[in-house]
Amino acid sequence: MAWTNILTDLLKVNYPIIQAPMLGVSTPEMAAAVSNEGGLGSLPVGGLSPDATKQLIRTTKSLTNKPFAVNLFAHNIPSYSEDDLEPMRKLLLQLAAKRGYDLNAADLSNFKLYNYLDQIDILIEEKIPVVSFTFGCLDPDSIEALKRNACTLIGTATCVEEALYLQQQDIDIIAVQGIEAGGHRGTFIEDMPLPQIGLFSLLPQIKKAVRIPCVAAGGINSARTMKAAVELGADGVQIGTAFIGTEESQAIPSYKTRLNNAKDTDTALTKAFSGRWARGIRNEMMNEIEQAGIPIPPYPLQNSLTAQFRKLAQQNNDIEYTTLWAGQSAVRTTLTQSKDIIRNLIEGYEAL
Amino acid sequence: MAWTNILTDLLKVNYPIIQAPMLGVSTPEMAAAVSNEGGLGSLPVGGLSPDATKQLIRTTKSLTNKPFAVNLFAHNIPSYSEDDLEPMRKLLLQLAAKRGYDLNAADLSNFKLYNYLDQIDILIEEKIPVVSFTFGCLDPDSIEALKRNACTLIGTATCVEEALYLQQQDIDIIAVQGIEAGGHRGTFIEDMPLPQIGLFSLLPQIKKAVRIPCVAAGGINSARTMKAAVELGADGVQIGTAFIGTEESQAIPSYKTRLNNAKDTDTALTKAFSGRWARGIRNEMMNEIEQAGIPIPPYPLQNSLTAQFRKLAQQNNDIEYTTLWAGQSAVRTTLTQSKDIIRNLIEGYEAL
């Protein structure tokens, strides 16, 4: 990977290294630190209100004058009845009481659900140079409006068919998400079993199928893994888990400690937290919800149902009842600053 | 990867490229062709009778004077009662009748189950230079006997813990099986969920954990994927799916054609055929058995129960009722000779 290539040209950065957008973990400080170091920071705003979106963007801008990406969730909001949510509400109230948390029925209803259409105008007003997204593809009008405003678009694919669809919709760059990746699967083609394709198989096949640049995501945490991704056809890399332990991360201390002690077999895919498949370290909340035998409402409903419970757990530094998103390559590290992670990768790569 | 390294020294071959043992697909002709070209051919004999084992070894020896590996299944035979097998027998007879096959109750009972202990003496008598195995670890006495006879041992690991166990048992080489790999998972630590770790995450972690050479398996089918594996720490590679379409393969013609048209999302892990997790292209037999809602007897019982049905399907070139083992990187190819696959990899790698 040359440090100057088609990807650095498109993104206007020095290094084709993207900090993965991790909602609940990434912060304006993290995105700015990565962008200031010459990579591309990412600010996740999926599902947030327009006001919160604007405020996070403004904060990030106050910390860097380099380009950064804003990350959207391109999902649809499913129709639902209150009755559909009752069994899960009951379960969550039981689990919270058992764990000693003061969770109320009111915390599990009347939530306001936003989608990205509420945020597009703000991104254009704020002249965001790169918009990345997952869980689907933006609608044609939004794509057209963003591109008319000089915005570069990155879509997420977990199989060849999704990559081809994104290319056809005029998206500029594909984030190729291997099964190794932590957090939510970007999968959006729904009439088939969840694709669970390792990066080693997925990246060469997507690279061969599309003509636009590809960014490798999942399992990358070192100069050598970057180099391997380049051999498989990557024009750049996206790195998430390695940033969870940094000072700029919102992760609670016990989550950072747990991650630093993670084994290769500790993560699992689950719908328990959000209603969408995501990879995290197995914990009690995941197990209890999966084993309860009641249907898990689809995203973003389950995500909203579990939100206050997870917030209470986080306030108590309790890793058993919050999300512990992590990829399959969590490694023990002493690097605690986002800028050092970028610097370390660059220096290591140049020394290969 | 230097063509001469610790692995080629141990295996006494010219290139650190191993043809994966694929029972039902690999043949003496395939193993000999690969070994004659300077790689390491593998002859799978897992679960075969001592007589069949000896005959296959003799045939391979008649075709090459180069080293080749013999591959064993290191499983235990579970205790069972005839009653445990009745629901599956009934289902298989129903499915066969529906498909028009003359399957009889007698085909589904009184099968003779062998394990590797029946084969060790033959391997020693025949002075086999390399024994690889999967589904577990050989017992200490067998390990000692084989090593005393100058045999190099290759064990299969799907997580760090398995690799460490194999090293501790004095195994010489680890085959690191990423989730991308076709055919049976080598997993043998059973008190946890099936490890499903992508090669991109698994290989660097195992390489870091052990001091013995590692062979990358799963997703490798080209010079570039070989190079990427080397960047991740591989001392050599093992390649399976790419050989299924060759003239030396036992795969039926319709299986070869199906493989040549496979998409990245076509494979799934299933226990339907053998009672052990394995990756293959989804077909009717897999779907029918999985969806029947009856327990699948453990390996090797289910394997024996489905054997005659699969044989009848193969005789009819029927891909819906036989195993279509395949990795996630099946690609369209025009190479039809095993030696050309080896040659192509070597020449491609040297040109990188």
Closest in B160, B180, B225 to A263, CB measured: B160
Each residue's pLDDT expressed in tens, for chain A with a length of 352 residues: 568 999 999 999 999 999 999 999 999 999 999 999 999 999 999 999 999 999 999 999 999 999 999 999 999 888 988 899 999 999 999 999 999 999 999 999 888 899 999 999 999 999 999 999 999 999 999 999 999 999 999 999 999 999 999 999 999 999 999 999 999 999 999 889 999 999 999 999 999 999 999 999 999 999 999 999 999 999 999 999 999 999 999 999 999 999 999 999 999 999 999 999 999 999 999 999 999 999 999 999 999 999 999 999 999 999 999 999 999 999 888 899 999 999 999 999 999 9
State the best of A200, A221, A225, A333 to mutate against chain B, taking most chain B CBs within 10 Å.
Answer: A200
CA B247 to CA B251: how far, in whole Å? 9
Please report, as a single letter, which amino acid is at residue A63. Answer: L
Residues on chain A touching B264 (C-beta within 8 angstroms)? 159-160, 195, 197, 201-202, 205
Query: How far is Cα of residue B88 from the mean position of the Cα atoms in its chain?
Result: 25
CA A88 to CA A299: how far, in whole Å? 13
* Largest pairwise CA distance in chain B: 59
CA A86 to CA A312: how far, in whole Å? 21
* B4 backbone dihedrals φ, ψ, rounded to 5°: -110, 115
For A234, name the nearest residue in chain B, comparing CA atoms only. Answer: B228
CA B90 to CA B94: how far, in whole Å? 6
Domains of chain A by residue range: 6-77+113-245+335-351, 80-112+267-325
Tell which residue, B23, B45, B72, B91, has the closest CA to residue B297: B91
Neighbour tally for B268: CB within 10 Å: 17
**Inter-chain contact B159–A225, Cβ cutoff 8 Å?**
no
Tell which residue, A209, A253, A249, has the closest CA to residue A233: A209
- The neighbouring-strand residues paired with A18 are A40, A238
Residues on chain B touching A348 (C-beta within 8 angstroms)? none
Under 8 Å between Cβ of B28 and B56? yes
H-assigned helices in B272-300: 284-291
Task: Please report the pLDDT score of residue B55 as a whole number.
Answer: 98
Q: Which residue has the tokens 């039926």?
A: B252
Q: What is the ipTM of this complex?
A: 0.97
- B180 CB-near residues (< 8 Å, 6+ apart): A197, A198, A200, A201, B198, B199, B218, B219, B327, B328, B329
**Inter-chain contact A201–B227, Cβ cutoff 8 Å?**
no
Under 8 Å between Cβ of B245 and B220? no
For A202, name the nearest residue in chain B, comparing CA atoms only. Answer: B264
**Regions of chain B where pLDDT drops below 70:** 1-2
DSSP codes, B68-80:
EEEEEE-PPPPP-
- Tell me the count of A-B CB pairs closer than 8 A: 130
Under 8 Å between Cβ of B297 and B88? yes
Query: How far is Cα of residue B160 from the mean position of the Cα atoms in its chain?
Result: 20
Residue B271 token pair: 């226990």
* A18 backbone dihedrals φ, ψ, rounded to 5°: -110, 130
For B229, name the nearest residue in chain A, comparing CA atoms only. Answer: A228
**Inter-chain contact B218–A204, Cβ cutoff 8 Å?**
no
Tell which residue, A260, A276, A268, A13, has the closest CA to residue A134: A276
Tell which residue, A273, A256, A215, has the closest CA to residue A239: A215
Under 8 Å between Cβ of B286 and B270? yes
- B274 CB-near residues (< 8 Å, 6+ apart): B184, B299, B300, B302, B303, B306, B323
H-assigned helices in A180-283: 199-209, 223-231, 253-260
CA A154 to CA A174: how far, in whole Å? 6
H-assigned helices in B103-216: 120-125, 140-148, 160-168, 199-209
**Inter-chain contact B198–A180, Cβ cutoff 8 Å?**
yes
**Inter-chain contact A231–B233, Cβ cutoff 8 Å?**
no
CATH of domain A6-77+113-245+335-351: 3.20.20.70
Closest in A159, A180, A192 to B200, CB measured: A180
Which DSSP state fits B89?
H
State the best of A201, A202, A226, A269 to mutate against chain B, taking most chain B CBs within 10 Å.
Answer: A201
CA B83 to CA A235: how far, in whole Å? 57
For B217, name the nearest residue in chain A, comparing CA atoms only. Answer: A200
**Inter-chain contact A264–B159, Cβ cutoff 8 Å?**
yes
Under 8 Å between Cβ of A48 and A114? yes
Alpha-carbon gap: A65 to the closest alpha carbon of chain B (Å): 34
* A342 backbone dihedrals φ, ψ, rounded to 5°: -65, -50
Residue B24 Rama label (left phi>0; alpha psi -120 to 50; beta): left
CA A20 to CA A1: how far, in whole Å? 19
Query: How far is Cα of residue A271 from the mean position of the Cα atoms in its chain?
Result: 15
CA B175 to CA B234: how far, in whole Å? 10
Under 8 Å between Cβ of B72 and B80? no
SS3 B158: coil
Task: Please report the pLDDT score of residue B110 as a whole number.
Answer: 81
Neighbour tally for A85: CB within 10 Å: 19
Residues on chain B touching A199 (C-beta within 8 angstroms)? 198-200
Helices B199-209, B160-168: crossing angle, 10 deg rounding:
30
Distances (CA, A) of B114 to B77, B101, B117, B321: 8, 27, 8, 24
Distances (CA, A) of A24 to A102, A211, A253, A312, A323: 22, 33, 14, 14, 9
H-assigned helices in A12-131: 28-36, 50-63, 82-99, 120-125
Q: Which residue has the tokens 């129903």?
A: B94
CA A51 to CA A45: how far, in whole Å? 11
Characterize the bridge pairing of strands B183-184 and B278-281.
Answer: antiparallel
Alpha-carbon gap: A232 to the closest alpha carbon of chain B (Å): 6
Closest in B160, B200, B227 to A198, CB measured: B200
Task: Please report the pLDDT score of residue A215 as a whole number.
Answer: 98
Characterize the bridge pairing of strands B152-157 and B68-73.
Answer: unpaired
Neighbour tally for B4: CB within 10 Å: 12
Alpha-carbon gap: B317 to the closest alpha carbon of chain A (Å): 27
CATH of domain B6-77+113-250+338-351: 3.20.20.70
CA A46 to CA A77: how far, in whole Å? 13
**Inter-chain contact A264–B201, Cβ cutoff 8 Å?**
yes
End-to-end CA distance of chain B: 12
